[in-house]
Amino acid sequence: MNSYNENLHLAIVNSLQSLDIEEQDLNSQINAAMFTLYHAEGATIVAEQNLAAATDANNAVALTLPPNELNPNTALLYFKWADANVDDVEKLFNQYGE
């Protein structure tokens, strides 16, 4: 039979090993979160750069069009595709080609 000191020592060693494993797991989770944050920040920077480039390109197109010029070649620049259906597209081009 084990003595009290041996049992106490074994319990303390087991507790410390358990805490060490838990600490390693938490450190791994922190590292994974940091990598995820790093890549998310990179994606945010790229998205902001793409938005700035698209805005500049859009502004350049808007500056090259004379005011109130809407024809089949420029109509699509002003069309909201999110709200579109086939009938709307046909209405844009029903006179074109006749």
Mean pLDDT value of segment 21-38: 95
Q: Is the pLDDT of residue 17 over 80?
A: yes
Output the pLDDT for position 10. Answer: 92
Q: Is the pLDDT of residue 23 over 90?
A: yes
Rounded CA-CA distance 60/74 in Å is 14
Output the pLDDT for position 36. Answer: 93
Rounded CA-CA distance 33/21 in Å is 18
pLDDT tens digit string along 39-81? 999 999 999 999 998 888 877 766 665 666 666 666 666 665 5
Output the pLDDT for position 4. Answer: 87
SS3 6: helix
| DSSP-derived secondary structure for 28-95 | HHHHHHHHHHHHHHHHHHHHHHHHHHHHHHHHHHHHHSPTT---TTTHHHH--GGG--HHHHHHHHSS
